[in-house]
Amino acid sequence: MGQHVLLIEDEPNIAEAIRFVLARDGWQVSVLADGALAVAEVSRLRPDLVILDLMLPGKSGLEIVAQLRAAPGTQSLPVMMLTAKGLARDRDAALAAGVSVFITKPFANADIVAQARAMVGL
């Protein structure tokens, strides 16, 4: 398949679980734990998909999405947000910021793979 995803998640166990299931599905997975570096890494790596946590050190997921949507090269980049904050207001804020898909933790691995595939047209 060869699709590349940048996973921005600061919880090592969650990051490793997602990395494992996506790699097993054929994805190239880059992992980043610091929100402050996220936009620069997206520009550098040019992934097909970004999966990010809402609450990150350095910069929140909402701030990252807002910056990605404001930049010409990443306005349409698919972004999946994962969060333990599953309230309607959190979902609404994420969707308003430009998140493509919002998934609450805990999640099923199969859902992550299915959503990732759908977001890049596989």
Residue 1 has pLDDT above 60, yes or no: no
The per-residue pLDDT for range 12-33, each reduced to its tens digit, is 999 999 999 999 999 999 999 9
How many Cβ atoms sit within 10 Å of the Cβ of residue 91? 17
Q: Note the maximum CA span of the chain.
A: 36
Band of the pLDDT at 110, cuts 50, 70, 90? Answer: very high
d(CA 57, CA 96): 22
Rounded CA separation 60/14 (Å): 17
Give the alpha-carbon dihedral of 16, 18, 19, 22, to 10 degrees. 160
Q: What pLDDT, on a 0 to 100 scale, did the predictor assign at position 105?
A: 86
Residue 91, pLDDT score: 85
Ordered structural domains, the chain, with CATH = 4-119 (3.40.50.2300)
